[in-house]
Amino acid sequence: MRFRSNNKDTGLHYDRYLREVIDFLEKDQHFREKLHNTDMEDIKQGKLAKELDFVSHHVRTKLDELKRQEVNRLRTLIKAKQDIEGGNDIAVDHQALLKQFEYLNHMNPHTFEVEDLDRLIKSATKDLENYDKERHDEFKRYEMTKEHDRREHLKTLNENERQKEEEHYQELKKKHADHPKVNHPGSQNQLKEVWEEADGLDPEDFDPKTFFNLHDTNGDGFFDEQELEALFTKELEKIYDPTNEEDDMVEMEEERLRMREHVMNEVDSNKDRLVSLDEFLVATKKKEFLEPDSWETLEQNQAYTDEEMREFEEHLAQQEQDLHMKAVDLQKQRDELERQQDQLNAQKVELQQAVDHMERLKSQKVEPPPEVHVEGNALPEIHAFDDQLHHEQKAQQAHQPEHQAAHDTPQEHHKPPNQILAQQGLPQTHQDLPPGHQEAAQGRNNVP
pTM higher than 0.95, yes or no?
Answer: no
CB neighbourhood size of 212 (10 A): 21
Cβ atoms of 105 and 119 within 8 Å: the answer is: yes
Alpha-carbon distance of 344 to 337, in angstroms, equals 10
Tell me the per-residue pLDDT of 59-102, one tens digit each, with 9 for 90 and over.
999 999 999 898 888 888 877 777 776 655 555 555 556 666 88
Cβ atoms of 39 and 309 within 8 Å: the answer is: no
Q: Is the pLDDT of residue 277 over 80?
A: yes
Nearby residues of 124 by Cβ (< 8 Å), 6 or more positions away: 1, 3, 10, 12, 18, 103
- Among positive and negative, which fits the CA dihedral 12, 17, 21, 24? positive
Cβ atoms of 221 and 276 within 8 Å: the answer is: yes
Alpha-carbon distance of 224 to 219, in angstroms, equals 11
Of 27-41, 328-342, 348-362, minimum mean pLDDT range: 27-41
pLDDT mean over 271-276: 86
Alpha-carbon distance of 200 to 155, in angstroms, equals 52
Q: Is the pLDDT of residue 187 over 90?
A: yes
24 vs 406: which has the higher pLDDT: 24
Alpha-carbon distance of 287 to 291, in angstroms, equals 6
Backbone angles phi, psi at 398, to 5 degrees: -65, -25
Q: According to the per-residue pLDDT averaged within each range, which of 20-24, 250-254, 362-366 is highest? A: 250-254
Tell me the per-residue pLDDT of 400-445, one tens digit each, with 9 for 90 and over.
544 444 444 444 444 555 554 455 455 555 455 455 545 544 444 4
Nearby residues of 290 by Cβ (< 8 Å), 6 or more positions away: 187, 188
Mean residue pLDDT across the chain? 81
DSSP H helical segments within 198-293, as ranges?
A: 208-215, 225-230, 233-239, 249-267, 277-283, 287-290
CB neighbourhood size of 311 (10 A): 13
pLDDT of 12 reads: 79
